[in-house]
A = this chain, B = another copy of it.
Amino acid sequence: MNPRIKCLRNQLNSLNIEGMIVSNPINIKYLTNIDAEGELLITRRENIFLTDGRYVEAVNSALTIDSEIIVWDKRGMIREDYENYFLFCEKVGFEESYVTYEKYKQIMQLYKINELVETEGIIEKQRRIKDEEEITNIKKACEITDQCFTFLKNYIKIGMTEREIAYRIEEFFIKNGAEGLAFNPIVASGTNSSMPHSIVSDKKIEEGDILLIDLGCKYKGYCSDMTRTIFVGKVDDTIKNIYDMVLGVQEQAISQMKDGANIKNITKVAEQELKINRFDLIHALGHGVGLDIHEAPVLTSKYDNLLKENMVIAIEPGVYVPKSFGIRIEDTVLITKNGCINLTNSEKNYTIIA
């Protein structure tokens, strides 16, 4: 029996929801390992993947009997087929944070469901806690990311462009066993580093630049996420002090992360430390990492929320001085009963390249 679908069914039961339409392809991949366009219907007795002619062959060949998924080709279906899926169901769940308003109206018409109810990220919440296989994949993605950073430290030279470096990151990932990028890497040099989501440009790396590199790859669908801020040629003392402060904030946060720790408190400590130094935390302190590069939980001081064993979290404090520079340090960590384990392990002392 597929344990992930079983867990979802138990949760739906406890909410008196008798079925669910899963539309988010990442959630479908999580529950079924299917990588194709379509919808997963969790009906009273069956798990049905509705797809079209282009994918039926590929999907069927990827499934085993243990998957307990029935594949239906939409092309052969008539109106009654849709109406029969959730016959006698009172409440059926849908994914309100994925389904567009237009699609919501179509679902209502097509399936003739009595009560279509919001499920408030029920699958995303389940995905926060990783199983053994997921952790293995994320570890592997993090290893390749560390190797890439080691490569970059030797590879990057004054005069190269940000774009060239970003390109080599992708090449390295693919050549070293990853499926590809988890996201477009940020390679932000000089004043470009002052923008947290800087877009890679043709700016050349210059003597004296700060160089912020945010990178991650995918391994069997699972992401890694790491940022290092390094220095070209020399480090100014003021910058060194700020770097140390950011690193201190990150290490302080990491030291508090464990099963049962409150995310709100951890974030508040980080915010206060930055505040004392007259900086604001202008983005979240961190986020879950898994099949998506950004997934639940988000680390903010807005809500009470506990860390749990086997969550995987990217922890990324940063400071940004407009038009001047930015420093961010980020690691992916695994939450355990008594602490957390760094899955990315690249050097965090001042790295100076030339």
Task: Answer yes or no: A118 CB below 8 A from chain B CBs.
Answer: yes
Which of A94, A102, A195, A196 has the largest number of chain B CB atoms within 10 A? Answer: A102
- Least CB distance, A167 to chain B, in whole angstroms: 6
* Bound-state Cα–Cα, A199 to B61, Å: 14
Query: In the complex, A167 Cα to B36 Cα: how many Å?
Result: 22
Stretch at the interface among A12-20, A51-59, A149-157, A295-303: A51-59
A44 within 8 A of B: no
Give the interface centre of A98, A197, A280 by most chain B CB atoms within 10 Å.
Answer: A197
Q: Which of A100-119 contact B (CB under 8 A)?
A: 100-105, 118
Within the complex, which residue of B35, B36, B58, B100 is in contact with A100, where a contact is CB–CB below 8 Å?
Answer: B100
Q: Tell me whether A234 is interfacial, beta carbon within 8 Å.
A: no
Q: How many Å lie between the Cα of A99 and that of B118 in the bound state?
A: 15
Question: Among the listed B54, B98, B100, B195, which residue makes an inter-chain contact with A57, where contact means beta carbons less than 8 Å apart?
Answer: B195
CB <8 Å contact, A54 and B98: no
Known contacts: A167-B174, A171-B167, A174-B163. The answer to whether A197 contacts B102 by CB under 8 A is: no
Q: Is A322 an interface residue (CB 8 A)?
A: yes
On whether A57 and B194 interact (CB within 8 A), knowing A102-B118, A167-B174, A174-B163, the answer reads yes
- List the B side residues contacting A174 at CB < 8 Å: 163, 167
From residue 194 to 229 of chain A, which have CB atoms closer than 8 A to chain B?
194-199
In the assembly, what is the distance between CA of A53 and CA of B174, in Å? 34
Q: How far is the CA of A280 from the CA of B56 in the complex (A)?
A: 15
The residue in chain B whose Cβ has the minimal distance to the Cβ of A55 is B197
A298 to B110, CA, bound (A): 22
In the bound complex, CA of A164 to CA of B187 (Å):
24
Q: Hey, what's the 0/1 contact readout for A252-291 against B, CB within 8 Å counting as 1? A: 0000000000000000000000000000101100000000
Beta-carbon contact of B100 and A99 below 8 Å: yes
- Give every chain B residue within 8 A of A118 (Cβ-Cβ): 101-102
Select one of B94, B101, B197 contacting A99, CB under 8 A.
B101
Query: Does A97 belong to the interface (CB within 8 Å)?
Result: yes
A276 to B: closest C-beta gap in Å: 20
What is the CB-to-nearest-CB distance from A190 to chain B, in angstroms, rounded to a whole number?
14
B163/A35 in contact, CB under 8 A: no
Residue numbers in B under 8 Å from A309 (CB-CB):
none
For the complex, give the distance between the alpha carbons of A101 and B103 in Å: 9
26 A-B pairs whose Cβ atoms sit less than 8 Å apart in the complex: A36-B197, A53-B283, A54-B195, A54-B196, A54-B197, A54-B282, A54-B283, A55-B197, A57-B194, A57-B195, A57-B322, A58-B197, A58-B198, A96-B100, A96-B101, A96-B105, A97-B101, A97-B102, A99-B100, A100-B100, A101-B104, A101-B118, A102-B118, A163-B174, A167-B174, A171-B171
Known A-B contacts: A54-B282, A99-B100. Give 4 more (CB < 8 A): A54-B195, A97-B101, A100-B101, A167-B174
